[in-house]
Amino acid sequence: MHWIDWLCVLVPLAVVLAVGLKAQRYVRSVADFLSAGRVAGRYVLSVSSGMAGMGLITLLAMGEMYYNSGFPIAFWWTVTVPFIFFISMTGYCTYRFRETRAMTMGQFFEIRYGKSFRLTAAVIQSCAGIINYAIFPAVGARFLVYYMNLPQTVWGMQTSMLVMAAFLSVAVIVAVMGGQVTVMVTDCVQGLFSYPMFLALLLFFLWRFSWGDQVMPALADRPAGMSLINPFDSISLRDFNIFYVLAGIFGMFLGHMTWAGSSGYNGAARTPHESKMGGLLGRWRESFNTFMYVLLAVFAFTFMHHLDFSDGAREVTAATEARVYAEVTQAETVPEAGSVDALAVKELTPKQRQTFSSLVTQMTIPMSMRHMLPVGLVGIFCALLVFLMVSTDTTYLHSWGTILVQDLVVPLLRRPLSTRTQINALRAAIVLVALIAFVFSNTFAQFDFILMFFQITGALWAGAGAVITLGLYWSRGTRQGAFASLIVGAVIALGGFLCQASWADTVYPWLEEAGWLPAVGLVCQAVTDHAFGLVVWELTSARFPINSTELLFLANLLSLSAYLAVSLVTCRKAFDMDRMLHRGKWALDGQETEGETEAPRGFFNKFRYHILGIDSAYTRGDRVITWAAWIWSFVYGFLLSFVAVVIWNLFSPWSIRAWGIYFFVTVLCMAILLGTVFTVWFTRCGILELRQLFRDLAARIPDRGDDGRVC
């Protein structure tokens, strides 16, 4: 890279590390290490958790999805916008979880279901989470190696392995220095840098590509039923389709707090109200992220498929295939670009061919970005990649490390650990998780889309959806029901994962030899015939017929059924929810819980309270933000941008040109608008809240007994 590009990478990274070093001095208790002392404000929460949740692997995964599915999946996903904002506005699950004052999900499990369930859940959760996270370092390192065009090997070792080790080391240092304090502060600073960087990239692409003459023609060249522009002509898309959206809505409500990859943020808010507002602002900010995912994929697709860029596209394709072939075959050097032909690919094993195809699709985006960006923007995009990789690594290392100690070790001890010993144990667990991720990333061969891998590993923990959500809202849920839910979800997911991983080499040949293929084919056909075109189970030797989204949906549905059925049979006495939530006579310091104590009367007041979540804790500014978010999400995002468009197209279908104009306004223009607003708004408020965070941490009196145990 040019020296200007290196400057664009190193200067922001130095600022981030400097702020992290300053933050670590405020860690004086276990609560500080686990939950940043519970003094974080809404903007710090929304920016830092958003940055951690975005991640380099998420950028690549979403880019992979939109590269293969285009605008239709983005359009159908619009139906989820009001649900997403409703969850955030009402503080669904997060508000009540913050009221419990639990610092980890395991602590909540022990309060609600007992120590035995906490230990069992910790084992399943740790396995699912560490397996899920374990591909993050490899995927991120591969992205950087391809984008920066680094050599295949250095000193006889794979370059990607060295890059992975380097960034894992940085993440470990940040996470062990000050736990959630340094993780949250560094994530927040990286997030503040990312806004203007994304906006600069967006303006470049607007200048570089003609929407009507290049982008739309490139996307329009597709077979019937697989359109990348018209949502009503995309029924043949297999993985990212309408069922993917519907299953996502179901999982959104049932499993809102199941994933603990950023568990440190769940209990870090200053108050439950700040937690709710941070979630709302974070959701609004995520809409800008979604636009960026779509546009990066669309512009990369245009570069690779439009005739105006054919020379560059051929170079990118040849270079990508050569690098992936070298990686799959573990060669020490990359073959000459263009030398990897169909015959060479055919000689690979079935699993290698599957991995080759998957990685070529993934790496097309970074390779095309490297080819089309000019000096300066190459460095800016590289800085973004580094930020996204480090922020996710620090957050996940902290989350899974704390779960290992807090939910497996601490509950088994008869006596509490000293503050220093417990923090050192947490640091050791963080290092252990990093080592596991490093080893796993170097041995695991990815065989599916990244998002599909997320779905199947998430399904291992799918049973926790009913356990957490109903545990926070339903007093009749029992420990037996929780165990049943967890076991059912894990069994379904584990069976599906093993079938997917070994289908071509083991399962399909065994079914064929045993004569079971006709019966399996009949089942697949019956499901396909009765699924209204939403689910297509195709029996082939190359791929397990049930994809990861469908497995996750089955795990969610059956685990919920198990929780309800077993709880109703075994419940003898309702659980005391007020005690768990510190309400009524159990309120801390004699104070009532924030907000309304009774539901208001009148249609408008009920709408304000139940739909928008506005109660007496809201200031005038909070009300303005909430009403603006509702108008954005429901009135504009759902009614005007989705419902009205669907009705119009049912009676008068739009042309490709009309859809092009629609997406130009609702995606590109909205991305520029939101990027500009958030750059100014969140940067100013985020810096102010970071200063306040440091003041609050300095003034906080540590509680040595607040260490995650349930007394």
Judge whether 512 lies within some domain. Answer: yes
Tokens 């075959």 -> residue = 329
Judge whether 707 lies within some domain. Answer: no
| E-assigned strand segments in 446-589 | none
Distance of alpha carbon 642 from alpha carbon 635, whole angstroms: 10
Can you give the pLDDT at residue 634?
86
C-alpha separations of 474 from 466, 487, 630, 710 in Å: 10, 20, 28, 21
Do residues 485 and 463 make contact, with C-beta atoms less than 8 angstroms apart? yes
Judge whether 604 lies within some domain. Answer: no
Q: What is the pLDDT of residues 209-232, one digit of tens each?
A: 999 899 999 998 888 778 889 988
Number of other CB atoms surrounding residue 522 within 10 Å: 11
Q: Phi-psi bin for 38: left (phi > 0), alpha (psi -120 to 50), beta?
A: left
Q: What is the pLDDT of residues 621-643, one digit of tens each?
A: 989 988 888 888 888 888 999 99
Do residues 288 and 675 make contact, with C-beta atoms less than 8 angstroms apart? yes
Distance of alpha carbon 379 from alpha carbon 370, whole angstroms: 10
Judge whether 633 lies within some domain. Answer: no
Give the mean pLDDT of 231-239. 72
Structure tokens at 25: 């001095």
Taking all residues of the chain, what is their mean pLDDT, rounded to a whole number? 85
Judge whether 649 lies within some domain. Answer: no
List of residues 6+ apart from 700 with CB closer than 8 A:
32, 37, 39
Can you give the pLDDT at residue 309?
92
Distance of alpha carbon 190 from alpha carbon 234, whole angstroms: 37
Beta-bridge mates of residue 154: 157
Can you give the pLDDT at residue 601?
67
Can you give the pLDDT at residue 267?
76
Can you give the pLDDT at residue 471?
93
Indicate the pLDDT class of residue 239, thresholds 50, 70 and 90. low
Can you give the pLDDT at residue 597?
46
Can you give the pLDDT at residue 596?
42
Contacts 24+ apart (CB under 8 A), 286-291: 286/50, 286/53, 287/81, 287/632, 287/637, 287/674, 288/198, 288/671, 288/674, 288/675, 288/678, 289/50, 289/54, 290/62, 290/74, 290/77, 291/667, 291/668, 291/670, 291/671, 291/674
Number of other CB atoms surrounding residue 569 within 10 Å: 11
Angle of helix 272-305 relative to helix 620-630, nearest 10 degrees, comes to 40
Q: Which of 146-160, 174-188, 194-208, 565-579 has the lowest mean pLDDT?
A: 146-160
Q: What is the pLDDT of residues 599-626, one digit of tens each?
A: 566 666 777 777 777 877 888 898 998 8
Can you give the pLDDT at residue 238?
61
Q: Looking at per-residue confidence, does 401 or 128 come out higher?
A: 401
Can you give the pLDDT at residue 657?
92
What is the DSSP code (8-state) at residue 269?
B
Judge whether 645 lies within some domain. Answer: no
With a pLDDT cut of 90, the percent of the chain lying above it is 24
Do residues 146 and 320 make contact, with C-beta atoms less than 8 angstroms apart? yes
Does residue 598 have a pLDDT over 60? no
Distance of alpha carbon 150 from alpha carbon 153, whole angstroms: 9
Can you give the pLDDT at residue 428?
94
Number of other CB atoms surrounding residue 301 within 10 Å: 22
Indicate the pLDDT class of residue 592, thresholds 50, 70 and 90. very low
Judge whether 119 lies within some domain. Answer: yes
Q: What is the pLDDT of residues 13-23, one digit of tens each?
A: 888 888 888 88
134: helix, strand or coil: coil
Q: Which of 50-54, 401-405, 463-467, 531-535 has the lowest mean pLDDT?
A: 531-535
Q: What is the pLDDT of residues 329-373, one digit of tens each?
A: 877 777 787 778 777 777 887 777 777 877 887 788 888 998 899
Can you give the pLDDT at residue 343?
76
Does residue 457 have a pLDDT over 80? no
List of residues 6+ apart from 706 with CB closer than 8 A:
29, 30, 31, 103
Do residues 582 and 101 make contact, with C-beta atoms less than 8 angstroms apart? yes
Does residue 588 have a pLDDT over 90? no
Number of other CB atoms surrounding residue 588 within 10 Å: 11
Angle of helix 3-23 relative to helix 377-404, nearest 10 degrees, comes to 30
Give the mean pLDDT of 73-89. 83
Task: For residue 331, give the CATH number of its domain.
Answer: 1.20.1730.10
Per DSSP, the residues of 399-419 read HHHHHHIIIIIGGG-SSPPPH
Give the mean pLDDT of 361-386. 89
Can you give the pLDDT at residue 590?
45
List of residues 6+ apart from 644 with CB closer than 8 A:
none
Establish how many alpha carbons lie within 13 A of residue 511's alpha carbon, considering only the half-sphere containing its beta carbon.
Answer: 18
625: helix, strand or coil: helix
Q: Is 342 exposed, middle or buried (0-12, 13-18, 19+ CB in 10 A)?
A: exposed
Does residue 711 have a pLDDT over 50? yes
Do residues 417 and 425 make contact, with C-beta atoms less than 8 angstroms apart? yes
C-alpha separations of 109 from 97, 125, 470 in Å: 11, 12, 12
13: helix, strand or coil: helix
Structure tokens at 443: 């041995």
Does residue 593 have a pLDDT over 60? no
Judge whether 34 lies within some domain. Answer: yes
Q: Write out the residue range of the structural domain in which residue 563 sits.
A: 3-594+654-699
> End-to-end distance of the chain based on CA atoms, in angstroms?
56
Per DSSP, the residues of 231-258 read GGG-TT-SSSSHHHHHHHHHHHHHTTTT
* φ/ψ of residue 30, rounded to 5: -65, -40
Q: How many residues are listed for the chain in this entry?
A: 711
Q: How many domains does the chain have?
A: 1
